[in-house]
Amino acid sequence: MRYMQKDLTMTRDPKRYPLALLTSLAITLGMLILTLTLIYQAHRGMEAAKLRATSDSVEDLVFAVNDRIRSLTEPPVTALLLLRGSTLAQAETLDERLEHLDVLADILRINHIVDAAYMGYPNGEFFLLRRMPEDDTFLGAPGATQFVLQTITLDENNQLKAELHFYSSRLDLLERRANPDTGYAPQQHNWYQKAAGTNDIALTDPYVFYTTSAVGLTLARKAADTPAVAGIDVTVSALSSQLEALKLTANTEIAIVDREGTVIAYPDPSRMMAGPDHTPQLAYLEQLDVPALDRVRAMPVSTEARQFSIADGEWFGISAALRPMHGAGLQMLIAIPADELLADAWSLVRQQLWIALGLVLVLLVLGWRLGRQLGKPLEQLATEVGELSRFRFDTPISTESRIREAHGLGLAIEDMAGTIRSFQSISTTLNRSQNLDALLHGILNELISILNEKRGAIYLFRQPLSQLELAVSVGPERTAVIDGIAQHQTDTDITRDLRQRLTDHAVYAVLRNRTNELVGVLLIDLDEAHFGALDENTIRFVNEIAGSAAVAIETRQLIEGQQRMIEGVIRLIADAIDAKSAYTSGHCERVPKLAKMIVDKAIDTRSGPFTHFEMTEWERYEFHIAAWLHDCGKITSPEYVVDKATKLETIYNRLHEIRTRFEVLHRDLEIDYLNRRLAGEDDDQARPRKDALQAELQADFQFLAQTNIGGEAMDDSAVERVVRIGDRRWLRYFSDRLGLSHDERARHTAEPEPALPVEETLLADKQEHIVPWDEGRKPPVARDDPRNRWGFDMALPDTAYNYGERYNLTIRRGTLTPEERFKINEHIVQTIIMLDELPLPDRLSKVPRLAGTHHEKVDGTGYPRQLPGEALSVPEKAMVIADIFEALTAVDRPYKEGKTLTQALGIMRNMAREGHVDPAMFNLFLQSGVYLDYARGFLGEQQIDEVDVKVYTVAES
């Protein structure tokens, strides 16, 4: 085919279509000349319109800025008149003036542009209330400060005393202290002097405020019937921030200046200041060092844009007059780079040029196709078939032609390409579908498309029930279950049965796997025309596709079956761990559910530290597996350690042995008493001694029994009493080497057996109480252990166990020795080691780490690796929260009651503050309501109390 195509091309006469080519070129060239002419005229008009629009925009800007100036001066006037007419002017003492504090606060609350409201007195006294600036370090104010009161009053010695008062938003006094800045005298300042000399409102020039260094102006007026002067500070910083939004282009320079050239507003407020830091002043225009604005200021006042040149290029400048303020004329100076102002015009030119180029190309193609329309349809189809031969089955096939045979051939090739694409889609569906439902839908839809039908269904065979169950369906509602289908039936019998029970107008394909076992049935409904034309080729085609589908379905069923089995084994392990100890019942089931709830909220959150947190479907599954296996290492933890309820408990409570020794001592006292009586001692002497010693034994045993419970922390005196009681002596007449296990005998070999009877102490720490580490099973938790390939960093006790009676009874807090506490903590080490030994696939490679980090702390003091917070992922931090909250609120622990929500959250809040859990994750857990959703599902009603989320929210670093 390729050689034939080459030969046809070589014999082509290049002069066969000269008219079409010339026609195409003539039309294209004429259109191009017309387009370029129109573009040139449009550009000139755009440039003029742009300059006119700029002038109109400047007029709008002037109106907006004038409106802003009006908002700066008019609303505060009302507040000033209110303040001037108040009795604050007649108040002579600080207490009398403080009665007007709420009036000044209301002025500040209502007028957001008012920075401060105050009253100045002719004797130098001053009473000013300002809102707290955004700078939280202002004057060293307390954290909740909303208002700052500055006062200058005459004390009892007629001396001026300056003070600072800090108030909350509700005017609660937070702090009162002396003001170190005592040099302020109101009667010496411009605002006071201007207002004192007139009965009208005095308005100052913009200046830098004495206390806050903000730029603003002051409105002042003499109080009624008194020489005091009321004042209000109004900030004009908003003008500067507004100018940035009013810039016509990105690099537009804009400023507002007064008649002397002082800069009243500029987008960068930091450049408006001049002079030293302790006495800042407003800068002059030339101090901004913006040559373009200097040139604009020299222009006549007008809203018309004028072009000028400076060293850095061409500019357009506008100098517009603003509403007068404080008696000085204001100008708004605007300098716009010419290239930016006319950027839209040039962009339109470029756009039109591209459109013109596109039209040229379109006309060339159109002319060429018109010239070839009558002679080359078969050549085009040959080219497209060549693309199909190179496996480009997505090539569109042209079917429109004036030649009937070419048109028919195009339709046939198009159908063939569509069929091949459908085969590709089926192949992709069989190989890539992630679950059985998607696989079945894909197969059915592609087959329906290939056969050009609209309805079909797939039934799957359920072996135990001997029935076909509807899996997927396209079209009308179908019978959900078909009973009475047997595995041994032939395909013909099954098809015949289904034609009678479902529909006869369909093509059926029985699905069988590699071992020829029945998997299901596929059917495609046929309309009347297609059913009448049904032949063996169509049936064979559907059966061949069905064969591949059956194998794919079997594979997917096996995969899903294996996944269900893995899930079952994981849950079996978790249930076994929960069943092993009544103290942790249900823990391994509840923690995964709570952890998933937290992670889902982190994924849904679109703010804060979790803004970009996402998890793929496999990452979610990996986390799910890890959460269920997070405590699988507990299967190696001895129950008598995990369940140890008293200090002397091992497999049983050894307090009974000690009680027996007390019984021996008690009977020894009885025997001693009787011997004394037999020896002739008077009963009045022998009995009180015996009774006192026996009472002492009773008290000592009660003390040891209470100590054994381990409910409260032991102090030094209690430890000394245990030692003193333990020093009592008793005689042992029977060997302690008989009836021992191999391990017990091994611990006695270090010392020879003494001759009987032997005197022993009541409480003993003996060598046989020490259980050394078995070197072959010593956990590799030390950082320098060569076997430690997991990065563990835990302190390993010197011995595996220490059963010493005194050692255990003198445990300061709780019931566990350091060795036993390590044994419990070791469960996380065993979890990591066990999971690391599993042949996990790559997509589950993080399961050991995810399952083994829920006892780490963000301050790096957790175990087993002492990982800091930055080394923990979001899912790992979620596991920490879930594990702790479940443990605190669990109601199935026989040794404690589940805590209420407020109790548990209070403990966790302290843990977040102390660096044990991540504050951001704890806040998410709290603020998202996950704690409450979990509580409603797993906590008792008595545990769900009212929670104020704000109280428990922790500040994040």
Q: Mind listing the pLDDT tens digit for each residue in 115-145?
A: 889 999 988 899 999 888 876 677 788 888 8
Distance from the Cα of residue 597 to its chain's centroid:
13
pLDDT at 5: 41
What proportion of the chain, given as a percentage, has pLDDT over 90?
13
- φ and ψ at residue 178, rounded to 5 degrees: -70, 145
pLDDT at 376: 55
Sign of the CA dihedral with 299 first, then 302, 307, and 310 last: positive
pLDDT at 606: 85
CA–CA separation, 19 vs 9, rounded Å?
Answer: 20
Asked if 860 and 870 touch (Cβ cutoff 8 Å), the reply is no
Average pLDDT over residues 739-746: 82
pLDDT higher than threshold 60 for residue 358: yes
Query: In which region does residue 261 sit, left (phi positive, over 0), alpha (psi from -120 to 50) or beta (all else)?
Result: left
Q: What is the pLDDT of residues 244-265, one digit of tens each?
A: 666 667 778 888 877 777 777 7
Question: What mean pLDDT is reported for the chain?
Answer: 78
pLDDT at 8: 39
Q: What is the pLDDT of residues 635-668, one digit of tens each?
A: 777 777 777 778 778 877 777 888 888 888 889 8
Q: Which two structure tokens, joined as six digits, stand for 750? A: 């270090």
pLDDT at 11: 47
pLDDT at 881: 93
Q: What is the pLDDT of residues 261-305, one digit of tens each?
A: 777 777 777 777 776 665 666 777 777 778 877 787 778 877 677
Confidence of residue 67 (pLDDT cuts 50, 70, 90): low
CA–CA separation, 178 vs 78, rounded Å?
Answer: 32
pLDDT higher than threshold 80 for residue 107: yes
Average pLDDT over residues 420-425: 59
pLDDT at 418: 59
pLDDT at 234: 80
Confidence of residue 19 (pLDDT cuts 50, 70, 90): very low
Side chain identity at residue 769, one-letter code: H
pTM of the predicted model as reported, rounded to 2 decimal places = 0.50
Confidence of residue 905 (pLDDT cuts 50, 70, 90): very high
Instruction: Specify the 3-state DSSP secondary structure of 922.
Output: helix
> Which of 724 and 377 is assigned the larger pLDDT?
724
pLDDT higher than threshold 80 for residue 847: yes
Residue with tokens 């166990």: 801
pLDDT higher than threshold 80 for residue 89: yes
pLDDT higher than threshold 90 for residue 96: no
Burial (0-12, 13-18, 19+ Cβ within 10 Å), 162 = middle
Q: What is the pLDDT of residues 467-502, one digit of tens each?
A: 888 888 887 788 888 888 888 888 888 888 888 888
Confidence of residue 918 (pLDDT cuts 50, 70, 90): very high
CA–CA separation, 266 vs 256, rounded Å?
Answer: 7
Average pLDDT over residues 238-245: 66
Nearest C-alpha neighbor of 121 from the set 205, 265, 247, 228:
228
pLDDT at 7: 43
pLDDT at 574: 64
pLDDT at 56: 58
Confidence of residue 892 (pLDDT cuts 50, 70, 90): low
Confidence of residue 413 (pLDDT cuts 50, 70, 90): low
pLDDT higher than threshold 50 for residue 825: yes
pLDDT higher than threshold 70 for residue 525: yes
pLDDT at 899: 86
Nearest C-alpha neighbor of 386 from the set 768, 378, 278:
378
Question: What is the DSSP code string of 69-130?
Answer: HHHHHHHHHHHHHHHHHSGGGG--SHHHHHTTHHHHHHHHHH-TTEEEEEEE-TTS-EEEEE
Average pLDDT over residues 595-599: 92
Asked if 206 and 215 touch (Cβ cutoff 8 Å), the reply is yes
pLDDT at 459: 86
